[in-house]
């Protein structure tokens, strides 16, 4: 198994750090999978490297990356430490980064199918991209949100615009992480354009929705709502699974947690169909 690291210029000139995992003994690839992490996430969070190995062992190139404003740096790859960058992240920047990643894959001229897996907020990005990008063959969403505005309380918005920032808590470290008003302003400016439900209606490629019924962060009803909007999407419930399918950070085991293993198997079956 090989891992190839790369660096690209992302939104506002900030760096995107990424890596490909693939089987270096095989001359053929079944396709490239791009994984899009969620809010407060990053490419080396929890069991993400085990997931990359799983798909590489099954014949795929697996690409994961840190969004340019994820707050994760080269010096500290296992946590969000650059709060200045994190605080000025926007949906527009995340979509620009995703386009940069897809362009990078296209320029590598693999001439093979391209698949998107998006987790949580990354699932929302995958839906927006899958609705408009003909280079994407299939999308798979894991615990996806259906509204970018669901990441904060509506009653926070007026005070947020007035004071310039709010804080969100890192559940693991209890650190207060700042969000400047550029995130809200960007969301309000592009509210129709970044409407996940509207994008879901326009999905014409195969789409698998995977969601745990014990997800307290994004309720299973959100997945049901998305499946009702796009009736051609395939919804599968992961019994007893939480938002991260049993993973944690750091993740000490060398085997996938039970629920995440199920998610990977279902994802693989869907991609290979």
Q: What domains can be seen in the chain, in order of their start residue?
A: 2-80+91-149+194-272 (3.40.50.1820)
Rounded distance, CA 142 to CA 165, Å? Answer: 29
| Cis peptide bond N-terminal to 250, omega within 30 | yes
Task: Spell out the per-residue pLDDT of the chain, length 273, in tens.
Answer: 899 999 999 999 999 999 999 998 877 889 999 999 999 999 999 999 999 999 999 999 999 999 999 999 999 999 999 999 999 999 999 999 999 999 999 998 777 899 999 999 999 999 999 999 999 999 999 999 999 999 899 999 999 999 999 999 888 788 999 999 999 999 999 999 999 999 999 999 999 999 999 999 999 999 999 999 999 999 999 999 999 999 999 999 999 999 999 999 999 999 999
Indicate the pairing of strand 32-36 with strand 114-119.
parallel
Residue 257 has φ and ψ, to the nearest 5°, of: -60, 155
* DSSP strands (E only) in 59-206: 61-66, 114-119, 138-142, 165-169, 176-180
């Amino acid at each position: 198994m090989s891992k190839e690291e790369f660096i690209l210029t992302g939104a506002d000139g900030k760096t995107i750090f990424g890596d490909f995992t693939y089987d270096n003994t095989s001359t053929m690839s079944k396709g490239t999978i791009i994984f899009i992490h969620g809010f407060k996430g990053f490419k080396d969070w929890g069991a993400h490297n085990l997931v990359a190995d799983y798909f590489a062992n099954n014949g795929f190139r697996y690409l994961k990356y840190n969004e340019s404003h994820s707050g994760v740096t080269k010096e500290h790859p296992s946590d969000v430490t650059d709060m200045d960058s994190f605080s000025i992240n926007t949906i527009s920047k995340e979509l620009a980064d995703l386009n940069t990643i897809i362009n990078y894959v296209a320029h590598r001229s693999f001439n093979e199918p391209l698949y998107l897996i998006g987790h949580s907020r990354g699932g929302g990005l995958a839906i927006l991209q899958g609705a408009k990008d003909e280079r994407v063959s299939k999308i798979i969403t894991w615990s996806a949100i259906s509204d970018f505005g669901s990441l904060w309380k509506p009653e926070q918005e007026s005070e947020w615009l007035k004071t310039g920032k709010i804080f969100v808590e890192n559940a693991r470290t209890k650190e207060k992480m700042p969000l400047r008003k550029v995130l809200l302003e960007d969301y309000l400016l592009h509210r129709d354009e970044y409407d996940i439900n509207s994008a879901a209606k326009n999905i014409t490629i195969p789409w698998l929705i995977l969601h745990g019924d014990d997800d307290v962060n994004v309720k299973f009803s959100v997945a049901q709502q998305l499946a009702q909007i796009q009736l051609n999407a395939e919804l599968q419930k992961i019994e007893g699974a939480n938002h991260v399918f049993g993973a944690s950070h750091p993740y000490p085991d060398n085997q996938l947690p039970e629920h995440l293993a199920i998610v990977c198997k279902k994802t693989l079956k869907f991609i290979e169909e």
